[in-house]
Amino acid sequence: MDPIKEAMLHRSRSAKLERRGRLLSLACISLIVLVVLAIFIFVASRGLATFFTNKVNLISFLSKSTWAPAVKDAHGVPQVGALPMIVGSFGVTFLSAVVATPFAVGAAIFMTEISPNLGKRILQPVIELLVGIPSVVYGFIGLSVIVPVIRTVFGGTGFGILAGTFVLFVMILPTVTSMTVDALKAVPRHYREASLALGGTRWQTISRVVLRAAMPGILTGIVFGMARAFGEALAVQMVIGNAALLPKDLISPASTLTSVLTSGIGNTVMGSLENNALWSLALLLLLMSLAFNLLIRWIGKKGEMK
């Protein structure tokens, strides 16, 4: 018998199935939420130990610029100042977003407004491929191509925020582009028609109507890209130089939260101050990604109200 017909004849069974299905999907989502909670509690309990067990001052953690958890200063307080990493992380994140945005928005406009055909056939696969390249590979290309280029052009060692920015630019480009494409596609067709009918050129339509209307979506895409850049570890770690110094310029070695976390975690003993301090960095990362998410939500709400 046809499954649809069968379903119609046995109402009670169908209702049972409905309940079971609903429960099943609810179980899946609960499991995921549980995992997130577990990670959060796990990272928080270790990250907070730095402040409660090891008595490190939260303010000095955020504002001091010497990172040497194994070394105590003159007052016997371990030197855990995360400021250089915080500055480094924000530096590469904002700069890469600044560089990536024009490219991403440009590419998205090209794909939706100028030449949807070329866009779908060439640009779309290219963007998807960029997502697929593993970050280890990005890191090695950065190390063997970008760093030497920066060294010959700008001097210095080539390692630093500039190199990190270039690598991250390529890595977040696909994210921002595809989200911008979605935002542009969501702009109703009659907006464009109205503008063109008023005698606007294509560019006038794009810049004054389409981009305006899609702005919240584009901003969301940019923030998404920044969230990805903030959490990226391996590729940035290879090119930024990992020096826990407040960056003076863009071409001297700096560090990010992830790079210090990744390179140090295997060398420390669980439960020791050195280890806890690294988990505090992880907690900071987690809170930042929470902040980025709230920002995205807020932009979304603002956009909705228009």
212 counts as binding another protein under rule CB under 8 A: no
41 counts as binding another protein under rule CB under 8 A: no
Q: For residue 18, give the H/E element and its range.
A: helix 11-52
Q: Report the b/e string of 46-79 with b at 16+ CB within 10 A.
A: bbebbeeebebeeeebeebebbebeeeeeeeebb
Phi-psi region of 246 (alpha: psi -120 to 50; beta: other; left: phi over 0): beta
**Cα separation, 36 vs 30, whole angstroms:** 10
298 counts as binding another protein under rule CB under 8 A: no
In angstroms, how far is the first alpha carbon of the chain from the final one? 51
Q: Which of 44, 77, 99, 114 touches another protein (CB under 8 A)?
A: 114
109 counts as binding another protein under rule CB under 8 A: yes
25 counts as binding another protein under rule CB under 8 A: yes
- Give, as ranges, the residues between 160 and 179 that touch another protein (CB under 8 A): 170, 173
- Give, as ranges, the residues between 256 and 275 that touch another protein (CB under 8 A): 258, 261-275
Task: Tell me how far, at minimum, the Cβ of 78 lies from another protein, in Å.
Answer: 10
**Cα separation, 207 vs 195, whole angstroms:** 11
148 counts as binding another protein under rule CB under 8 A: yes
How many positions of this chain bind another protein (CB under 8 A)? 121
Task: Tell me how far, at minimum, the Cβ of 279 lies from another protein, in Å.
Answer: 9
Q: Distances in Å between the alpha carbon of 92 and those of 33, 223, 245?
A: 30, 14, 14
Task: Tell me how far, at minimum, the Cβ of 140 lies from another protein, in Å.
Answer: 7
The smaller minimum CB distance to another protein, of residues 59 and 152, is found at 152
- One-letter amino acid at 71 equals V
- Give, as ranges, the residues between 58 and 97 that touch another protein (CB under 8 A): 66-71
Q: Which of 82, 150, 285, 299 touches another protein (CB under 8 A)?
A: 285
Q: Which of 58, 62, 98, 145 touches another protein (CB under 8 A)?
A: 145
CA angle centred on 53, ends 52 and 54, rounded to 5°? 100
Binding part of the chain for another protein, among 37-45, 51-59, 186-194, 213-221 by CB under 8 A, reads 37-45
249 counts as binding another protein under rule CB under 8 A: no
204 counts as binding another protein under rule CB under 8 A: yes
Binding part of the chain for another protein, among 54-62, 90-98, 128-136, 190-198 by CB under 8 A, reads 128-136
Q: Distances in Å between the alpha carbon of 142 and those of 56, 169, 237, 239, 267?
A: 36, 11, 10, 6, 25
Binding part of the chain for another protein, among 56-64, 190-198, 210-218, 287-295 by CB under 8 A, reads 287-295
**Cα separation, 180 vs 110, whole angstroms:** 11
**Non-local CB neighbours of 158 within 8 Å, separated by 6+ positions:** 146, 147, 148, 149, 150, 151, 251
Task: Tell me how far, at minimum, the Cβ of 39 lies from another protein, in Å.
Answer: 5
The smaller minimum CB distance to another protein, of residues 98 and 122, is found at 122
153 counts as binding another protein under rule CB under 8 A: no
Q: What length is written for the chain?
A: 306
In contact, 153 and 166? CB cutoff 8 Å: no
Residue with tokens 């995921």: 32
300 counts as binding another protein under rule CB under 8 A: no
